[in-house]
Structure 1
Amino acid sequence: MLEKSIAMKAWQLHAFGLENLTLDEVAVPTPGPNDILIKVGAVSLNFRDKAIVDGIYEPEMIPKPLIPVSDAAGTVVEIGANVTRFKVGDRVTSHLYSKWIDGQPAPNEPDFCFGAPLPGGLAQYMLIHEESAVNVPSYLTDEEASTLPIAALTAWFSLVTYGNLKAGETVLIQGTGGVSIFGIQIANALGAKVIVTTSSDQKGIKARELGAQEIINYVKTADWAAEVTKLTNGQGADHLLEVVGGEGLNHSVLATRVGGHISLIGFLTGQKTNLDLMPVIFRQTNIQGIAVGHRAAFEEMNKAFAQHHIKPVIDTIYNFEDAVKAYEHLDRGAFGKIVIRVS
């Protein structure tokens, strides 16, 4: 049992802008009857975390001060009186949509997300309801496990839970960020053909090493949708992970086969688009909005990751005191995940 008089170090966002993220001392939270308290080992950053700090991610629902970052991994150090799912010493990760356990999402799921509006994991300790935590696969370190809650689960939910990916199908993946890298690994493990678009030949080489069969440099090949069609014998990709957003969605429709699946995940180039409806209608394209996934899918994914021994790709691990540098690196772009080691 922790001494409740002790304080912990936590990064807090006091106003929008990275200059307003400061390392403070706050009280260690006290578990309620169904809560677990974890000593945070590591957190990983997602585009969502940067968007929250920048004030472009649902700013009206961001409390201040806020302990940011949704994705954390650590060890249970204290449990509430009614907790049955975990015991002290267990290693767990957070689950972004803390109340979405299975099935269809409720309309208010965003109200219960870690890292905003609920306190996140960029602190020495984190409070999690027992239903909102997931066991860490034993073969992963805390640094590796911290990358799973959003990036890995988003790719899994897109391709497997919604997409029902089958061996031999073609998956088109945009870029080499966190979700995209997991998409390559998952699709490759399940026997799909993987095509990756990137602006960097060097990153393309790394993507091939992870299992991508085809690389399209969209700087050199502006009409990358036509190139995808050529690479798929005139058909287009069966599945596409859309992480760019903006006007590029029109190209994604053309790069996907008739009746194909587009998982609409990200908004790197914008939250709005002028979508040409006729190709969507005539091609009968399935466009599915993806907001990560539920806990049941997370647990299913972890079993598959252990079976295929999928190891997360980490670009850089920063020390806790260097959290601002980690955010700056995320802003520049990364191959895989940016992780902050807390303890």
Structure 2
Amino acid sequence: MKSCLVKTDGGIDAIETVDQPEPDCRPGTVKIRMRAASLNYRDLSVAAGGYMRNDTRPVVPLSDGAGEITEVGDGVTQWKVGDRVSPIFVQKWIDGSVTDAMLRSSLGGGIDGVLTESIVVPEQSLVAIPDSMSFAEAASIPCAAVTAWHALFEVNRLVAGQTVLLLGTGGVSIYALQLAKSAGARVIITSSSDKKLELAKSLGADQTVNYQTHPDWHREVKSLTDGVGVDHVVEVGGPGTLEKSIKSTKVGGNIHLIGVLDSPSAKISPMLSVFNLLNIRGIYVGSRTMHERTIQAMTASEIKPVIDKSFAFDDALDAYRYFASQKHVGKVVIEF
């Protein structure tokens, strides 16, 4: 079977396509014929090296995929051949609290991922795909959508009427937009592109801020909230944007710290978060239970994943390059 491999820290151009033997389906596992995969910012970091808990070499990249079961191992009763499924991001995080050992079972970094024609996973480490979703749509959910769900609905839960600030128009932010609007929230979203902001409006964003036009974008956010600030920030920028996110948040508000897209070495003062009693919480994807809740919420609200562009498996590196260009809104997928 064909597989892609990250063997070094050489980035996108160093990813190799190789022929490998089909994996064996052991007792308690299922074999999945992959039909689609999607890219996340983490995948660029895995290829370039230095990403925490994702230093395995060689490793099959990408965490997010979907396909159909082609074989079930002895003792498996929950699944059957032909079932449409998606492996979960952290293979050992089924429910409840998480440990360091669990986080080291993250697909596409800690262990082999889904950019391969077949994968074998434990029977408890996958979820069913609704009939209403294509393989490509389901493959866009495990990291971005589950992360957005975890941020907004698992702790300090978003409620109708609250205001959410989203940074950029990548996968996590667009899913957070769709989920927040389905819950009755008001959404403010930022981008450097007016075109992307118009698309975000078409998906339900209430207000937009171009951070190129408004470098001190936190002032615009405070103005849009009558000086009060937002209830929730889905913070994907990291240290480079966190100070302005803090300044955008109301007293007692919540900052869900997810990404490191901007200036990871920047320094900020924590004092405003102290004076304003902010809740700043790190979010790293989620458990199988959260994945299932995400799918249930999307199905109930008829949320359609936003797929910007699809590539063939043989053009996987072109998909990486397009994703790295940051031209996309929503998700970039690879279909097998």
Fold match (TM-score > 0.5): yes
Question: Match of 1:57?
Answer: 51
Find the aligned partners of 2:295 and 2:194 in 1 and give their Cα distance: 31
1:5 maps to none
Residue 47 of structure 2 is aligned to residue 45 of structure 1 = no
Aligned partner (choices 236, 247, 252) of residue 243 of structure 1: 236
Corresponding residue SS for 1:36: strand
| Residue 33 (1) aligns with residue 24 (2) | no
Give ranges in structure 2 of 5+ residues lacking alignment: none
- The aligned counterpart of 1:283 is 276
Cross-structure match for 1:20: 14
After TM superposition, the runs of 4+ consecutive aligned structure 1 residues lying more than 4 A away are none
Cα displacement (A) at 1:210:
0.5
- Distance of 1:25 and 1:266 partners within structure 2: 34
Deviation at 1:107, TM superposition (A): 2.6
1:277-316, Cα deviation, whole Å (9 max, x unpaired): 2101100110000001111111111111111111110111
User: Within the alignment, does 1:173 sit opposite 2:166 as a pair?
Assistant: yes
Q: CA deviation at 1:227?
A: 1.1
Residue deviations 1:84-135 (CA, integer Å, cap 9, x gap): 2211111111111111111111232221111122111101101111111011
Displacement of 1:61: 4.6
- Paired with 2:299 and 2:156, the residues of 1 have a C-alpha distance of 21
Q: Is 1:249–1:273's contact at 8 Å kept on the other side of the alignment?
A: no
Which residue in the other structure is 1:255 paired with? 248
Per-residue displacement from partner, 1:153-197 (whole Å, max 9, x unpaired)?
A: 000000011231101100000000000000110001111000001
Task: List aligned pairs for 1:138-149, cutoff 5 A.
Answer: 138-149=131-142
Greater CA deviation, 315-324 or 274-283?
Answer: 274-283
Partners in 2 of 1:330 and 1:258 — Cα distance?
36
Q: 1:117 aligns to what?
A: 110
1:338 aligns with 2:332: yes
Alignment root-mean-square deviation, CA: 1.1
Partners of 1:264 and 1:23 lie apart in 2 by 34
**Correspondence for 2:148 among 151, 155, 180:** 155
One-letter identity of the residue aligned with 2:29: D
Aligned residues of 2:167 and 2:191 also touching (Cα < 8 A): yes
Q: In 1, are the aligned partners of 2:240 and 2:264 still within 8 Å (CA)?
A: no
Comparing 161-170 and 267-276, the one that deviates more: 267-276
Letter in 2 for 1:24: V
Separation (CA, whole Å) in 1 of partners of 2:87 and 2:323: 21
SS at match of 2:104: helix
Q: Is 1:129 the counterpart of 2:122 in the alignment?
A: yes
User: Partner of 1:74: helix, strand, or coil?
Assistant: strand
SS at match of 1:139: coil
Residues 265 and 290 in structure 1, CA contact (< 8 A), matched pair in contact too: yes
Deviation at 1:138, TM superposition (A): 1.4
Counterpart position of 1:68: 61
Q: What's the secondary structure of 2:222's corresponding residue? A: helix
Aligned mate of 1:230, from 204, 223, 237: 223
- Aligned twin of 1:4: none
CA shift digits 1:9-55 (9 cap, x unpaired): 11111212222211110011011111110000000000111110011
1-structure distance, mates of 2:104, 2:294: 24
Distance between the aligned counterparts of 1:335 and 1:89, measured in 2? 32
Conserved? CA contact 1:174–1:244, under 8 Å: yes
- Whether the aligned pair in 2 keeps the contact of 1:178 and 1:335 (CA below 8 Å) is yes
Query: Distance in 2 between the 1:220 and 1:184 partners?
Result: 22
Q: Does 1:164 align with 2:157?
A: yes
Gaps of 5+ in 1: 1-7
* TM-score (norm. length: structure 1): 0.95
Partner residue in 2 for 1:11: 4
Distance 1:248 1:101 in 2: 32
Distance 2:288 2:111 in 1: 17
Q: Kindly report which structure 2 residues correspond to 1:256-271, keeping only aligned pairs within 5 A, or say none.
A: 256-271=249-264
Cα 1:122–1:278 shift into 2, 3 Å = same
The TM-score with structure 2 as length reference comes to: 0.97
Helix, strand or coil: the match of 2:324?
Answer: helix
Equivalent residues of 2:93, 2:103 under 8 A apart: no
Counterparts of 1:64 and 1:51, CA distance in 2: 14
1:42-79 deviation per Cα after TM superposition (whole angstroms, max 9, x unaligned)? 00000111110011313x75222211111110000001
Give the % identical residues.
Answer: 39
User: Does the Cα contact within 8 Å between 1:163 and 1:239 map onto a contact in 2?
Assistant: no
Q: Secondary structure at the match of 2:36?
A: strand
